[in-house]
Structure 1
Amino acid sequence: MRNNPPPLAYRLLLGQALRAHRERAGLEPNDVAKALGWYQRKVGFVESGHRKIAMAEAERLSELFQLSPAERERVLNLASEARRRDMVTPPVAGWALEYVAVEAAATQVRVFQEELIPGFIQTASYARAILSTALVPARDGVEAAVTARLTRQQRITGPDAPNVHLLLGEAALRRLVGGPKVMREQLRTLSEFAEADHVTLQVLPFVAGEYAALGTSFMLLDVGEPCATFALTETLVDGEWYDGPPYLERFTAAFERVASASLDVEDSHALLLQVRDEIKE
């Protein structure tokens, strides 16, 4: 994986792989618990990426699921990396730690945001305005959260950045977060970001009318080799992860339909610049 992602990213990948292998083997969580002497809830914790396992347990699971040599090697590698110690905990909400971990490991990021510029390309002033309105205060204060958000941006804009396909509702361009000056700066930054070779930016205009996923912003993150995909939706208080059928198929289909309903890259950039120029400081 890229950018030396944190152990949590490996735990999530390991959990997803173990669940897929268990289901392929026709086993229930209780079967695994009995075979390894676990309590049944531990199976759920491991498969959701919230619990580390010992290397001996990874070996036993490989035998139980009758994995091929290549599958066994991947499971053991993931288990080993997952046991590393996290050196730094970002100042974000608990549920968002998973997103930060997966984002750090992603090879492709697909985002649909109706109303908001995504955190990975927010300016400091825009991020500060958003974070200052949060009902749940940032753990270490707004300024620490702004700094953490800007640091994370290096993974999206740096030399080893993932491919990014960003779909924005027109409202995300027109909502004056932080006021006219802040918004002009944000749109200028977004315009520069959209010109990067690894970025595809499309805007879904108001005139598109109704569309798939209306009222639902979400992210799709592709991680690892072989690729594993995670979908994330956010609410006022937390985030919800989806990493299996039929959910991923539906999120992927929704993303593709929104992309088809959006302006092409050239017209999207033109609309972005038009909106920026319409804002008077």
Structure 2
Amino acid sequence: MPARKSISGRKPSARRLLAAEVARLRAESGKSLGQLADETTYDRTYLHKLETGVRIGSPEVIAALDKVYGTGERLAMLWELAREDVFPDKYKRFMELEATATVRYEYSAATVPGLLQTEAYAREVFQVGRPRSEDDLEEHVAARMGRQDLLTRDDPPHYRAVLDEAVLRRPTRDPKMWEQQLNHLVQTAEWPNVTLQVLPFAAGLHDLLGGSLTVLWLSDGRSVGYVESSKTGELVENAADVEQLKLSYDLLRDSALSPRETVAFIRQVMEDSTTCDPPAQT
């Protein structure tokens, strides 16, 4: 029997497969969009976008659909594949590696690292990047939130993040949102697999100024680095280059506040943020 050819001549993407499966399950169930909206508590227009592939949705709505259709985690597994379509191809290799990392070190120069962002903070980060549409914005937010499972899974990596003081001195537009983000950092710092440190301005110049760095220790003993700016990112796999990045990180970490001092520092920023007078209106 000859091999079946794709109608479009292209391999179906995980995103299209997810949409087709969601649509098929509803058709087989005989449910209307209205009935499905009642059972999942999600808007029918939103559910329609999932079935047509306009949106891939959030982990929460996919879990709700799995529950309604009794499909275990089948849709959730398809969603895990589909969300990779949201990220640029050059970033997907890094995502493959981070999923298997046993240790992860990060330095962030300007914004809260993605794994530590609240949903509201992540949304503002993507908004200032001028997304093409509201759907595009929500896709990126959902994908970022989904990646945070790395820190809460059954076998999470040891995660250390060094935050430049600039990260904590650049608030969101909504003071309440900023307070929630800072509080989330304090709470996350208490997790057994997470270590947070702040690099104060007083530490002076260092080798990683102007960018952010992630170093992954993989289960096979290798290490890789990912150097990133606001618009570009580069995966570094050459062993000698990775060792140089690790050295730069070690020197930077040694200049940072201790984890206990870091929590106190963040709490002080929270207190300062709530006691400051609002800017004068003109």
State the TM-score, normalized to the length of structure 1.
0.65
Measured in 2, the distance between the counterparts of 1:177 and 1:108 equals 30
Whether the aligned pair in 2 keeps the contact of 1:131 and 1:138 (CA below 8 Å) is no
Cα distance, 1:239 vs structure 2: 1.2
1:176 aligns with 2:168: no
Whether the aligned pair in 1 keeps the contact of 2:228 and 2:234 (CA below 8 Å) is yes
Q: Which residue in the other structure is 1:272 paired with?
A: 266
Whether the aligned pair in 1 keeps the contact of 2:210 and 2:229 (CA below 8 Å) is no
Q: Identical aligned pairs, as a percentage? A: 29
Measured in 1, the distance between the counterparts of 2:185 and 2:91 equals 23
Measured in 1, the distance between the counterparts of 2:133 and 2:259 equals 35
Unaligned residue ranges in structure 1 (runs of 5+): 1-85
The two structures, once aligned, show a CA RMSD in angstroms of 2.0
Residue in structure 2 matching 1:243, options 223, 233, 237: 237
Cα distance, 1:267 vs structure 2: 0.7
How many residue pairs match? The answer is 195
Change (3 A) 1:87 1:268: closer
> After superposition, where does 1:76-91 map in structure 2 within 5 Å?
87-90=81-84, 91=86
Give the residue type in structure 1 aligned to 2:227. Answer: T
Measured in 2, the distance between the counterparts of 1:279 and 1:238 equals 31
> After superposition, where does 1:1-281 map in structure 2 within 5 Å?
87-90=81-84, 91-134=86-129, 137=132, 141-225=136-220, 227-280=221-274
Unaligned residue ranges in structure 2 (runs of 5+): 1-79
Q: Which has the higher contact order (CA 8 A, sep 6+)?
A: 1
Three-state SS of the structure 1 residue aligned to 2:179 is helix
Give the residue type in structure 2 aligned to 1:102. Answer: L
| Divergent runs of 4+, >4 A | 135-140
Deviations 1:2-24 (Å, cap 9, x if unpaired)? xxxxxxxxxxxxxxxxxxxxxxx
Name whichever of 228-237 and 88-97 sits farther off. Answer: 88-97
Three-state SS of the structure 1 residue aligned to 2:198 is strand
Cα distance, 1:230 vs structure 2: 1.1
State the TM-score, normalized to the length of structure 2.
0.64
Cα distance, 1:216 vs structure 2: 2.8
Whether the aligned pair in 2 keeps the contact of 1:163 and 1:199 (CA below 8 Å) is yes
Give the residue type in structure 2 aligned to 1:196. Answer: W
Cα distance, 1:265 vs structure 2: 1.1
Change (3 A) 1:102 1:176: same
